[in-house]
Amino acid sequence: MKIIIIGATTGIGRSLAELYISQGHEVTITGRRTELLEALKNSFPNQTIHTSTMDVADITKTRQTIQLLADTYGGFDLIIINAGVGFPKASFEEEIKTIDINARGFVGIAQWAYEYFKTKGGGQLVGVSSLAAVRSSPYAPEYHATKAFVSSYMEGLRLRSKKYKHEITVTDIRPGFVDTPMTKQNKGMFWVATPEKAAKQIAHAIAAKKNVAYITKRYVFLAILMKLLPEWLLAKIF
């Protein structure tokens, strides 16, 4: 399979790239930090791996780059948009950056991917959203809002694919807590998964062509509970 992972330098994206590379797939890895992309590529000297440095916040350039990558490497069967940021106690500038990367950057690629697969006659698009998509929190409303946007956008693409028979699978991955650079400074985390365990479960959900998958699986129970909670009760928990 030909796979591109947007945001594969660290954490979940990197573990997912390592998993797919070790399974023999042809993987294109991307992110802002070229040296980390090259280090990952060099750790698998016998595999076909392509690297591309990109900042998803630069939407126009990113869309042009992905098109070029698809033309150069014979297309993609699976496109995984994993790039995302979250800032503890975000300033206004950091809130806007979160929107630029997690929401605007996501649409820049997801819209391209959908049109690409439509022309190709099918494919699978995967977005890494979050359990945070389900409800908001007092700590990072901007982060929750971007993930709710991402999950809603993917639901819309799924409905579009069904309605117009585009044969495009859209999988919404919603991790709970995963031990990565993004969560390093977090306190009070529970049910924390290693990125390797998360990657295994994500790859399984992708292969099963799930609509929505909670990572790890037990978070589905928390998601159901959170959806049901009235806001006054949610306020007491936080």
Tell me which residue of 208, 195, 100, 85 sits closest to 140, measured CA to CA.
Answer: 85
From the list 19, 25, 32, 201, which residue makes contact with ligand NAP (rule: CB under 6 A)? 32
Q: Does 177 bind ligand NAP (CB under 6 A)?
A: yes
Q: Does 136 bind ligand NAP (CB under 6 A)?
A: no
From the list 87, 183, 201, 234, which residue makes contact with ligand NAP (rule: CB under 6 A)? 183
* Helix or strand (DSSP H, E) at 53: strand 49-53
How many residues bind to ligand NAP according to rule CB under 6 A? 30
Of the pair 149, 177, the CB lying nearest ligand NAP is at 177
From the list 9, 124, 171, 216, which residue makes contact with ligand NAP (rule: CB under 6 A)? 9
From the list 16, 84, 151, 161, which residue makes contact with ligand NAP (rule: CB under 6 A)? 84
CA dist 74 and 236 (Å) reads: 53
Of the pair 57, 166, the CB lying nearest ligand NAP is at 57
Distances (CA, A) of 23 to 16, 27, 142, 200: 11, 10, 36, 12
Amino acid at 65: T
The answer, yes or no, to whether the previous bond of 216 is cis (omega within 30 of 0) is: yes
Q: Does 33 bind ligand NAP (CB under 6 A)?
A: yes
